[in-house]
Amino acid sequence: MILEISKNLPKTFAQKMETKMPNKSYDTIIIGGGPAGISASLYIARAGKSVLLFAKDNGALEKAEKVDNFFGQSEPISGNALIKKGREHAVRLGVFILETEVVAISEEDNVFTVNGSYTAKSVVIATGKSRSKPNIKGLSEFEGKGVSFCAICDGAFFKNKTVIVIGEGEYAKSEAKYLSAISAKIITLSSKEIAEIYGDKRVRGIKLKDGSDITADGIFIAEGSASALNFADKLGIETKDGNIVTDKNGRTGIDGLYACGDCTGGLLQIAKAVGEGAVVGELIVDSVKLKVNVSA
């Protein structure tokens, strides 16, 4: 769904956005429409680069009734209002915002592909604080022994077998769809239904809270939205204590892939997220300039 433009925006602009469809190729794709992602987008767009920003929701700020510690707000402002202002700012500078969940990301030859359709040479992960793993007995014990967090990585091990996808949202549907081409049977469940994952040296099945039992060869965890950790798993970037590891400028271990904001840990504050977004944005702009100069 394309971002619904505020009625307060100039009519000509709103009209323009209503009919505009996203391109398929951008200089930068940003995953996350919170303070970090928006901040990065402002710097990149102001440098004349094309930016596609995926903003599924307002993240942690959705529940912030009053923000009273962010620069420039003379009166307390709600998290939702602050995000709305930030996104309007980004759109005014030419950032294209899609209110779509990112469910897939891959990289080949230094080009990133998001949701199978959109490509960019740089990607910023700014998805906010990662969710913790579902609290299911046996999950950690069988990680790598039939419990997986990445269908594209591990689906091949369950060819013509029975797998369970844990999750109910778009991300779970996307993982199930991928597995449907490989596995014989796919069962989708909510973690709330599951009492325990069991097995021996490998997963053998799950026990449900109602006392029933489902035998399965593999279990794919895809609860809620795809988080920074899911992207890290899919791309092979380093994480620590549930956060993406970056250098001080937001670089991950992969060229062209950056992370900023709450998903990198530390102080979970708007000001810190905005600052990190700015650093990443500037770095991307500089790296593009460098590449142009080198190839010239």
Partner 1 sequence: MAVKITSENFETEIIESELLVLADFYTDGCVPCKRLSPILSEIETEYDGVLKIVKINAGVSDELAEKYDIFAAPTVVFFRDGKEIDRFTGLKNKTEIIEKIVELGGSPNSIEE
Site string for partner 1, 60-99 (x = CB under 8 A): ----------------------------------------
Question: At residue 150, what is the residue type?
Answer: C
Site string for partner 1, 198-237 (x = CB under 8 A): ---xxx--------------x--------------xxxx-
- Among the listed residues 92, 153, 209, 286, the single contact to partner 1 using CB under 8 A: 153
From the CB of 256, what's the least distance to partner 1, in Å? 13
Contact call for residue 20 and partner 1 (CB under 8 A): no
Q: Shortest CA distance to 147 belongs to which of 159, 133, 129?
A: 133
- Contacts of residue 164, defined as CB under 8 A and 6 or more positions apart, other chains included, come to 186, 187, 188, 189, 206, 214, 216, 218, 219, 220
Q: Is 203 helix (H, G, I), strand (E, B) or coil?
A: strand
Burial 129-156 (b: 16+ CB within 10 A, else e): bbbebeebebbeebbeebbbbbbeebbe
Beta bridge partners of 239: 244
Beta bridge partners of 125: 31, 259
Contact call for residue 146 and partner 1 (CB under 8 A): yes
From the CB of 155, what's the least distance to partner 1, in Å? 8
Contact call for residue 179 and partner 1 (CB under 8 A): no
Query: Helical H runs in 93-194?
Result: 151-154, 170-180
- Looking at the Cβ atoms of 96 and 220, the one nearer to partner 1 is 220
Q: Which one of the spans 34-42, 71-79, 104-112, 281-289 is the region binding partner 1 (CB under 8 A)?
A: 104-112
- Among the listed residues 20, 63, 159, 291, the single contact to partner 1 using CB under 8 A: 159
Contact call for residue 10 and partner 1 (CB under 8 A): no
Q: How many CA atoms lie within 13 A of 68 on its CB side?
A: 4
- Among the listed residues 154, 170, 175, 223, the single contact to partner 1 using CB under 8 A: 154
Q: Which one of the spans 7-15, 94-102, 121-129, 195-203 is the region binding partner 1 (CB under 8 A)?
A: 195-203
Cα torsion at 43, 45, 50, 53 (round to 10°)?
70
Site string for partner 1, 108-127 (x = CB under 8 A): x-------------------
- Looking at the Cβ atoms of 27 and 154, the one nearer to partner 1 is 154
Structure tokens at 280: 């990443």
Rounded to whole angstroms, the Cα distance separating 20 from 233 reads 33
For 230, left (φ over 0), alpha (ψ -120 to 50), or beta?
Answer: alpha
Contact call for residue 248 and partner 1 (CB under 8 A): no
Q: How many CA atoms lie within 13 A of 72 on its CB side?
A: 6
From the CB of 148, what's the least distance to partner 1, in Å? 6
Q: How many residues bind partner 1 (CB under 8 A)?
A: 26
Q: Name the site residues for partner 1 (rule: CB under 8 A).
A: 106-108, 144-146, 148, 150, 152-157, 159, 201-203, 218, 233-236, 238, 253-254
